[in-house]
Amino acid sequence: MINVHQKKEAYQAQLKEIEKELVQPDIYAQKDQLSVLTRRRSELEIMIQAFDEYICLQKERAEAEELTHNSDEEIREMAFIELEELLKRENQQERAIVGMLIPKEPADEKHAIIEIRAGTGGDEAALFSGVLFRMYTRYAERRNWKTQLIEENPTDLGGFKEVIFLVKGKGAYGQLKYEAGVHRVQRVPSTEASGRIHTSSASVVVLPEVSKDIEIQIDPEDLRIDVYRASGAGGQYVNRTESAVRITHIPSGIVVTCQNQRSQHQNKIQAMSLLQARLYERERIQSESEQSRKRKRLIGSGDRSEKIRTYNYREGRITDHRINFTSYQLQAILDGEMDSLFDAIQEADLQEALESMK
């Protein structure tokens, strides 16, 4: 664990400086600065209180450990019971502190844009993309989040070559960002007469929806915007109007399209939102690759070819290869009951952070 006494003293010194600034006569005329200072003061007060609670638990645990050597057997037994409870509470408080100390991404509280693309496996990969789409939408329903289709390229068998959708809910990106990577499925396709197991894959990209408080500079001169006749799920209306929009960001080469909205204007807004999200992700990956890190994050490598998970239908098993997590509740997870999986991933990320702070 980090040196809590040292950290507490540093935070107390910061708090003292902020309180000096808050009593300055002209501070209330600077609304933006006032907001920043009051928010930081609140954060520091919460952190200092968390440190105080942790230090108190350490003292109580030391006292209980001393009592385990008492000559009275009854006192020793009671001390061991108390020590077990104190150790549990101390570990919980330690994890809570580490969680507070981990730098938060500005985008963690944002809505999430999820892109699913069929990989190796032809029609079976497209069908699996549909399974993943259903899994995430079911999970969103359980969290009372809304989903909105942005773009789709369906197949005749009911799957998707590509599907892009928005998950609208506070913290959706922070929860779903760990899903980025290659998902592999092992199952017998319905078209396979011999019953042989096939291995197929789909790639998942998770982006934050960029809002006004996240600055992404886009020069209109860097954009090429094309309109064309939409086709597919929009029906006859989109087929006879040039409502689909394709935007090319020339410096990066990023191309986004949108045709699922009923007007060209709506498609352009949606496409611009997707472009901003992809540019933000590009900048984030570049920034993180330039920084020296003590730990390997479960996200942020930018390597979308990394296999992160296997879904084995015959065994009813799902395995996350990053954290060696295995569950035999495959169908429940595919039905959107993903909390146990996300809890395990976030706990592993927290433990990595804890190790890096020692």
For 61-92, give one letter per residue: b (16+ CB within 10 A) or e: beebeeeeeeeeeeeeeebeebbeebeeebee
The CATH number given to 4-101 is 1.20.58
Domain ranges of the chain: 4-101, 112-214+302-356, 220-290
Cα separation of 348 and 1, whole Å? 16
Domain 112-214+302-356 of CATH type 3.40.50.80: no
Binning pLDDT at 50, 70 and 90, where does residue 166 land? Answer: very high
CB-count burial class (<10 Å; 0-12, 13-18, 19+) for 341: buried
Sequence-distant (6+) residues with CB within 8 A of 289 are 302
Give the class (CATH, top level) of 220-290: alpha beta
Question: What are the residue ranges of helices labelled H in 118-171?
Answer: 122-142
Q: Tokens for 356?
A: 């890096």
What pLDDT is recorded for position 300?
47
Helix (H) or strand (E) holding 320: strand 317-320
Residue 305's CB is within 10 A of a number of other CB atoms, namely 9
Both tokens of 93, joined, read 């408080």
Q: For residues 111 and 166, give the distance between their C-alpha atoms in angstroms, rounded to a whole number.
A: 7
Tens-place pLDDT, residues 10-61: 999 999 999 999 999 888 888 888 888 998 999 899 999 999 999 999 999 9
Does residue 321 carry a pLDDT above 70? yes
Longest dimension (CA), the chain: 91
pLDDT tens per residue across span 136-163 = 999 999 999 999 999 899 998 889 999 9
DSSP 218: -
- HSE-CB for 83 with a 13 A CA cutoff: 14
